[in-house]
Amino acid sequence: MTTAPVRRRGRPPAAAAARTRERIVRAAVELFAEKGFHGTGVAEIGERADVRRGALYYHIGSKEELLFRILYDYIGLMYAEAREIADGPGDPVTKLRKLIRSHVRLIVAHRREVAIQLRDVSALTGARAADLQALRDRVQHCWQRVIDAGQEAGALRTADHVVTNGILGMLNSATFWYREHGTHGPEEISDILAATVLDGLACACHPAPDPGTDRK
């Protein structure tokens, strides 16, 4: 006669824990986007994720930790793509077009996380706030390297950091007006915004390439 395995209390299996954390994060993203970080209670997150309060704290630690993880993971995706483009082949103007296209695509795909960042990032404190800011600075540094190289090559009029901040701010604002079923998709929007930026930034001596030639 075989004996059924004894169930032991303790940590849940890794796969089950990962699925639970994913549900919690998904619920938190929905609620933070709808109601704001401060307007969302931990109990609401647990209810939407179908996780009891005790298990909720086991998986996330605190509401602030959950906010940090949501924003850090999203900005980490932006950094990975921005670094790949900045370190990759191509002239600075082509790289800048690619950066704009990547940024717009990620904003559209993660517009709830962007909205949370723009509204609630100040809720992070201490090491969490510092770590997130350091990651955001790395994203901006990738952009600045490309713009600096463009000015050094004579392809861009200026490399002032105000321009870099302005471009990123303009692109981030797309989260507020983008509509999934609107007349323009992410690629069309990125091409329009790239033309808007580069018509004012690129030197007349540097012809604008066909937008279709520099797509991945």
Same domain, 119 and 82: yes
Any domain includes 163: yes
Same domain, 152 and 115: yes
Q: What is the residue-wise DSSP string for 162-206?
A: HHHHHHHHHHHTHHHH--TTSSS-HHHHHHHHHHHHHHHHB-TTS
Same domain, 114 and 78: yes
Any domain includes 125: yes
Any domain includes 172: yes
Any domain includes 4: no
Any domain includes 129: yes
Q: Which residue has the higher pLDDT, 121 or 55?
A: 121
C-alpha 132, offset from chain centre: 11
Same domain, 87 and 155: yes
Q: Return the beta strands (E) in the chain as ranges.
A: none
Taking only the tens place, the pLDDT of each residue in 131-179 is 999 999 999 999 999 999 999 999 988 889 998 999 898 888 887 777 7
Same domain, 75 and 46: no
Same domain, 75 and 137: yes
Any domain includes 107: yes
What one-character DSSP code corresponds to residue 12? Answer: P
Res 151: pLDDT: 92
CATH number, domain with residue 74:
1.10.357.10
Q: Which whole number is the average pLDDT over 120-129? A: 96
Res 8: pLDDT: 43
Same domain, 68 and 43: no
Same domain, 51 and 153: no
Measured CA to CA, the distance from residue 198 to residue 36 in angstroms comes to: 35
Task: Classify 104 in phi/psi space as left (phi over 0), alpha (psi -120 to 50) or beta.
Answer: alpha
Residue range(s) defining the domain that contains residue 40: 13-61
CATH number, domain with residue 19:
1.10.10.60
Same domain, 89 and 144: yes
pTM for this model (two decimals): 0.79
Taking only the tens place, the pLDDT of each residue in 176-201 is 777 777 677 778 888 888 888 887 76
Q: Which residue has the higher pLDDT, 97 or 211?
A: 97
Residue 34 pLDDT class (50, 70, 90 cuts): very high
Residue 67 pLDDT class (50, 70, 90 cuts): very high
Whether 11 has a pLDDT exceeding 60, the answer reads no
Res 210: pLDDT: 58
Any domain includes 8: no
Give the count of domains, the chain.
2
